[in-house]
Structure 1
Amino acid sequence: GVAAAAGEGAERAGVARVCVNGVQLKAEETRMLEHGDELCLGRAVALRLVVPGEANDSCADFNLAMEGETGSDRAPLRHAIQPEASQAWQEIALYLEDLGQRLLPEQGDELFELLVDASHGTDEANEITKVLRPGEALKFEVELVWDIHRQSRDIIVIRLLRLAAHEDAGGSPAASTVLAYWTLDKFEARLERMRDCYDQYFHLGRWSGLGDHLEDPWMEPVPSELRRTLEARVDSELHRRASTGAAAAGAAA
C-alpha cells in the first residue's frame, strides 16, 4: 500500500503530495496498490507499479517488467503528473491559447511538454523555498518570451520574484521586485541544488550555504562577492594546513 505521510519530516514542508492514478491522497490516507497503478510523488516524480506475479503474458507487460518505461510507453506515465494540479500552470494557462495560434503544431506540442515540466518544477522550487527561506517572500514564476522564432526551450524562462507588501508607504499597491531571470536549463540545474539543500535540511534539521555565493542556489553570483568568498576560503585552508604542520612538527620534536 501507499500513504500520504504527515509525520515529522512531512510537517516541515506540509503534507507530502502523493497521487494514485491521478487522485491525490489526503493526509494519513492509505491505498492498496495494484499492478499497473500510476504514482505521482511530490511534483516531479511519476512511477508505474509492476507486480511480476500479476503481469499477464502480453509483450507489453513483459517488456515493462524487464526494461521499465521506454520510448512512447513513457508518455501516458508522464501525464500522471497533471498540469491542472500545478499552480504555476494555472498562472500561465491564459496565455497558451494565444501563443498556440502563433506556433506550428509540432512546435506547440513540444512547448506544451516543456511547460508541463517547467510548471511542476516551479511548484517544487516554491515549496522548497517556503521551507528553507521562510519570511523572505520569494516566488518562482514561469514566463514566456514572445518570440516564435526561438527554439521551444528558449521561449520559456523562469523568474525569481521578491513579493511586495500589499501597499507601499504611500498606500498604493506595491510592485514585486524581479531578482533574476533564468533559462530553463539554468533553472533545472538550480532546482537540483535546491533539492540537495532540502535533503540536507530534512535529514539534519538545517542546511548550510545560506547566503554563500558559491553554495546558495537562490543567489546570483556577484564577481566581487565570489572573489571575497574564495579568498576567505583559501586563507582558511592555508591557516588550517599551517596549524596542522606546526602540530605535527611539535609532536615529532
Structure 2
Amino acid sequence: AGGRLIINGKAVGDGDPPHTLKHLDRVVFGRAHMMRIMIPKLAKKSAAAVTDGPSTRRRATLMMRPTVLEEEEHEQYAADLAEDDSSEAYQELRHYIEELRLKLSSEKLDGFLKVLKTACPLIDEANDLSTELRPSRHYKFEAELIWDVFNSEPEDLIVIRLIEYTESSADAEAALRPKVLYYWGLSKFMQRL
C-alpha cells in the first residue's frame, strides 16, 4: 500500500486485480527499481525458436542471459515511465497543458510534452525523497510553466520551484502557508536531484 508499481507500462493501483507475470514482462517498483521477468524454461524455448544466423544467434543468447539489459530495453523502461500518467506533478499541470494545446503548433507541443513527461517523474521522485528524508519539513517540488511559449525552447518553458509549507505564527490551527524557497531551470533541477 502506498507504493508505486508499473507493469509493462501500466500503473497498478491498490484496488486492481492481481496480475500474473509472464516471461519478459517489464516491472517498475517505485521510481528506481526496474526489472524484466525471466523464466528460464521459457527463455530456452524462445531461444530455440529463433532461426539460425549470426544476429539471431546473438539475440537467442541475450534471451538466455537475464543480466543483459540492452539500450533498447532501457529505452522501453524510460518509455514506460514517460507514458505513466499517474504522475502527481503531471496531473497538477493538466489544466495548463490543455491551454497550451490551443496555443502551440503540434510540433512545438510534442516537444514540450516530451520534456514535461521527462520532468514530471523526476519531480515526483524529488517529492518522495524529501518526504522520506525530511518528514518534519513540509517541502514540495512543483513544475511551473513559463508563458513565453512562442519564443522559447521546450526545456525553457518549465521551471521547478521548491516550496516549504510552514505554520502561520498568527494562527497555529490555520492551514500551512506556502513559501517559495527556490526556482530552478530544468537542467539545474536535474543536476541537483
Instruction: Look up the SS of the partner of 1:176 in the other structure.
Output: strand
Name the CA distance, whole Å, in 2 between partners of 1:32 and 1:54: 20
- The one-letter amino acid paired with 2:192 is R
How far has the Cα of 1:57 moved from its partner?
2.4
Give TM-score scaled by structure 2 length.
0.71
Question: Using a 3 Å threshold, how does the CA distance of structure 1 residues 54 and 17 change in structure 2: closer, same or farther?
Answer: farther
Question: Using a 3 Å threshold, how does the CA distance of structure 1 residues 42 and 144 change in structure 2: closer, same or farther?
Answer: same
Q: Which runs of 5+ in 1 are unaligned?
A: 1-13, 192-253
Question: Using a 3 Å threshold, how does the CA distance of structure 1 residues 85 and 37 change in structure 2: closer, same or farther?
Answer: same
Match of 2:80 in 1: 80
**Could you tell me whether the CA contact under 8 Å between 2:142 and 2:162 is conserved in 1?**
yes
How far has the Cα of 1:62 moved from its partner?
2.8
Instruction: Look up the SS of the partner of 1:99 in the other structure.
Output: helix
Task: List structure 1 runs of 4+ shifted beyond 3 angstroms.
Answer: 30-33, 44-52, 58-61, 63-67, 73-79, 170-175
How far has the Cα of 1:17 moved from its partner?
2.8
Equivalence map 1:82-121=2 (5 Å): 82-121=83-122
- Residue 134 (structure 1) aligned with residue 135 (structure 2): yes
Question: Using a 3 Å threshold, how does the CA distance of structure 1 residues 144 and 54 change in structure 2: closer, same or farther?
Answer: farther
Higher Rg: 1
Match of 1:53 in 2: 44
Name the CA distance, whole Å, in 1 between partners of 2:30 and 2:50: 32
Structure (1/2) with the larger strand percentage: 2
Name the CA distance, whole Å, in 2 between partners of 1:101 and 1:45: 37
Give TM-score scaled by structure 1 length.
0.56
Question: Using a 3 Å threshold, how does the CA distance of structure 1 residues 190 and 67 change in structure 2: closer, same or farther?
Answer: closer
Quick one: percent identity of the two aligned structures?
31
Match of 2:152 in 1: 150
**Could you tell me whether the CA contact under 8 Å between 1:48 and 1:77 is conserved in 2?**
no
135-144 vs 44-53, which deviates more?
Answer: 44-53
Which fold has the larger relative contact order, with Cα–Cα distance below 8 Å and residues 6 or more apart in sequence? Answer: 2
RMSD: 3.5
Name the CA distance, whole Å, in 2 between partners of 1:75 and 1:101: 30
- Residue 36 (structure 1) aligned with residue 36 (structure 2): no
How far has the Cα of 1:175 moved from its partner?
4.4
**Could you tell me whether the CA contact under 8 Å between 2:11 and 2:86 is conserved in 1?**
no
**Could you tell me whether the CA contact under 8 Å between 1:40 and 1:47 is conserved in 2?**
yes
Equivalence map 1:5-16=2 (5 Å): 16=3
